[in-house]
Amino acid sequence: MVNFAVVGMGFIAKKHIQAIEDADGANLIAVCDTNPDRLAEYEGKVNTYTDLEQMLKEQEGLDVVNICTPSGLHEPLASLVASYGKHIVVEKPMALKDDDSEKIMEAAAKNGVKLSVVHPNRFRPAIRKLREQMDAGKFGKFSHANATVRWNRGQEYYDQAPWRGTKKFDGGVLMNQAIHNLDLLLWFMGPVKSVQAMATTRFRKIETEDLAVSVVEFESGALGVIEAATTIYPKNLEESLAIFGETGSAKISGRNANFIETWDFEGETDEDRESAMKEIEADPFGKPGHQWIIEDMAAAVKEDRDPIVTGLDGHAPIQLINAILESAETGKKVFLSKPAVTK
């Protein structure tokens, strides 16, 4: 068994703990939070700590630390975990700034530890099937893509904790809600060359944006449109990813991008399309994405390989989001640089 600990016992930690409990080859042995009240329900079940470094020093047999704290704290905690030779699973976003995500990658590489970032949407059945089509060359040359998140997050959501909606610890709709969709966009379309964007705070009393629209140019020459909003009334409307190529068009949609809406590929019949749609409708959610991430990290440790979702994968949407925000602030097109860390 690969032994895990979870740091930061807020809402998302419960998903991690459930995933560890359900995952093959994984075992939860410790939890950590600076607030002892959050540790009470785990007393007597696993070891509990209020100090991360104490846990790293004292906890025997610890292999992997899952970081579930507010996003602005990810870098110093991940770098500390790496310095003790422990592998890292870090919640999205990996960090809020490009420099911080690169520091995490550098710390992991320097200390020879594995690093995985929680982008679980890659494992949704519809997304996996779409990836199969792309890997088989069914799209041909890409034309363009659309990534859309039209959701609702009311003021009460941001008022749950003082760090929500702040630039230092949380980020806005792009970093919090749309980042999974942007991860998928980049996973399919490849690196971005430039962005031109607008962003604003329309309704919520927060420091960060609740609405952003941008046009991107991929290094391949394909184009893309990104729309992200938490201003939709009265509830989540849709999350979708549409990809268009010279020999294929597809759109995955629904409130959480779980269903096939469009599925047209050269050489495939109406029966092929209906079969694909029925397959996904029969099981639109599949195994939980967090469980995929945990099982993959456990296997990566045992097999001494890289996780499926790497640090570079986690860095890419952060770099894109910061370029979007820079373009929105300056009114200029922003060109993305190559990440300094290559492994």
Q: What is the pLDDT of residues 201-232, one digit of tens each?
A: 999 999 999 999 999 999 999 999 999 999 99
Query: Are residue 271 and residue 129 in the same domain, yes or no?
Result: yes
Q: Specify if 315 maps to a domain.
A: no
Query: Are residue 77 and residue 217 in the same domain, yes or no?
Result: no
Q: What tokens were used for 101?
A: 């995500």
Q: Specify if 125 maps to a domain.
A: yes
What domain count does the chain have? 2
Query: Are residue 193 and residue 258 in the same domain, yes or no?
Result: yes
Q: Specify if 259 maps to a domain.
A: yes
Q: Specify if 151 maps to a domain.
A: yes
* pLDDT of res. 338: 79
Query: Are residue 30 and residue 80 in the same domain, yes or no?
Result: yes
In whole angstroms, what is the distance from residue 88 CA to residue 21 CA?
18
Could you read off the pLDDT of 300-341 as tens digits, one per residue?
Answer: 999 999 999 999 999 999 999 999 999 999 999 999 987 765
* pLDDT of res. 342: 46
Query: Are residue 304 and residue 212 in the same domain, yes or no?
Result: no
Q: What tokens were used for 340?
A: 């300094």
Query: Are residue 182 and residue 226 in the same domain, yes or no?
Result: yes
Per-position b or e across 263-274, b if 16+ CB within 10 A of its CB: bebeebeeeebe
Place of tokens 């990104």: 226
Query: Are residue 175 and residue 216 in the same domain, yes or no?
Result: yes
Residue 120, preceding peptide bond in cis (omega within 30° of 0): no
Burial of 20 (0-12, 13-18, 19+ CB in 10 A): buried
Query: Are residue 85 and residue 182 in the same domain, yes or no?
Result: no
Domain with 254 in it = 121-285+320-327
Q: Which residues of the chain have pLDDT under 70?
A: 340-343
Kindly report the average pLDDT of the chain as a whole number.
97
Q: Specify if 89 maps to a domain.
A: yes
Going along the chain, which residue ranges are E strands? 2-7, 26-32, 47-49, 64-67, 87-90, 115-117, 142-150, 192-200, 211-218, 223-229, 238-245, 248-253, 259-265, 334-335
Q: Please give the backbone phi and psi of residue 5, each rounded to the nearest 5 degrees, phi first.
A: -130, 150
Query: Are residue 126 and residue 114 in the same domain, yes or no?
Result: no
pTM (2 decimals)? 0.95
Query: Are residue 142 and residue 101 in the same domain, yes or no?
Result: no
Q: Where residue 31 sits, what CATH number does that domain have?
A: 3.40.50.720
